[in-house]
Amino acid sequence: MGAEIVVEQDAAKTPESGGEAYEQETRRNTRQTTRNVPAEEQIDRPTKTRKSSGSGSSSDGRAMLQKALDLLAESRRETKRLQEALREQMEMTKELKEAVAKQEETVREMGKQMVEIKDQMTEELQRVREQLETIVTNAMDGPQRSYADVTRLTPFLPHNDSRTLAAPPNPTDVLYCTIDV
C-alpha cells in the first residue's frame, strides 16, 4: 500500500497573516488529507486519467514504455561501444606517446654521438696537420735530391735479405733508368 498526500492551502490563511496558526492549520490539513491508497490503484491512476481524457489505451502506454526501454537499451549499447572506442583510442595514444619518447631518446643519443664524432674528427684533423707540417719542414730543411740520386744509392744499401751478395754489385751489372726533369 502506498500513501497519497494532498496539501490544500486555505486562501484566507497565509504566512503573513496567521504566523504559527497558519503552520498548525497546514499540518492538520496535511494529516487529514493523507490517506492510504493501494499500490495497484496508484499504478493504474495515470492510465485511468489518460483513458478519461481520451489519449489512448493501456496497451498504448505499455507500447510507449517498451519503446522507452528499447531506446534505453540501445543507448546503453551505444554508450558501451563509445566507451570501448575511447578505451582503444586512449591505448593507442599511450602507445604513440611511448614511441615519441623512444624517438626523442634516440635523437638525444644521436646528437651526443654527433658531438663525439665531431670532436674525434677535429682531433684527427689536427694530428694530420701536424704530420703534414713535419713532413714539409723536413723536406725543406734537408738537401734537395733528385729521383736519380735516390735510385743510384739504393743498390748499394745493404739488404737484410738472404739473397744478399758477399761483394757489392758491379755498377756495370746494374741497369739504371733515370729521368731528370
Residue 21 lies in a domain: no
Would 26 be classed as within a structural domain? no
CA 53, chain centre distance (Å): 62
* Residue 56 maps to a domain: yes
Residues ≥6 apart with Cβ < 8 Å to 74: none
Task: Please tell me what DSSP assigns to residue 38.
Answer: -
How far, in Å, CA of 130 to CA of 104, rounded? 39
Q: Is residue 22 within 8 Å of residue 13, measured between CB atoms?
A: yes
What cell does 96 get? 604513440
Tally of domains in the chain: 1
pLDDT in tens, the chain (181 residues): 445 554 444 444 445 555 565 566 655 555 555 444 454 454 545 444 444 444 567 889 899 999 999 999 999 999 999 999 999 999 999 999 999 999 999 999 999 999 999 999 999 999 999 999 988 887 777 667 777 777 776 655 455 555 554 555 665 666 667 777 7
Q: Domain span at residue 137?
A: 38-141
- Exposed e or buried b per residue across 18-39, where buried means at least 16 C-beta atoms within 10 angstroms of its C-beta: eeeebeeebeebeeeeeeeeee
Residue 126 belongs to a domain: yes
Residue 3 is assigned to a structural domain of this protein: no
The answer to whether 38 and 2 have CB atoms below 8 angstroms apart is: yes
